[in-house]
Amino acid sequence: MRSWAEVTRPAPPQRGSLSAVPYASMVTTSQTVWITELLVSNATEQKLLRRHRISVDEVEHAVVCARGLRGSWHHHPDRGRRLLLQVTIRGREALVVLYPTVDQYVWHLGSAYFRS
């Protein structure tokens, strides 16, 4: 498993990637998280299926009630504070973007995409 410094290192822009912004300069603290519920809008669900070819069920399986999830906080200039998680989906490394709610165990899914 790669370190968070490697995960957040800028990659060449890809269609459907969050952006080509160098994340390493904007990642702040790292923390372990426990997720009991993932809130997903219809628009996000459709984006994942169409653009990234990942189902919400796959993301939920990777993050909901999964032990040892460690994420890094990232501040996006337009979207605000969000948590980046590195997970495995279908045997491939994926990055999941989560936004906090008032409940520390419930998160909004922003996106998920394969790293390679």
> What is the structure's pLDDT at 28?
63
Largest CA distance in the chain: 35
* pLDDT above 60 for 104: yes
Look at strands 80-89 and 92-100 and give their pairing.
antiparallel
Q: Helical H runs in the chain?
A: 4-7, 42-47, 56-63
Q: Tokens 């290192």 correspond to what residue?
A: 9
Strand order in the sheet with 69-76: 27-33, 69-76, 80-89, 92-100, 106-114, 37-39
CB 112 within 8 A of CB 54: yes
Look at strands 92-100 and 27-33 and give their pairing.
unpaired
> What is the structure's pLDDT at 82?
94
* pLDDT above 50 for 5: no
Question: pTM for the complete prediction?
Answer: 0.75
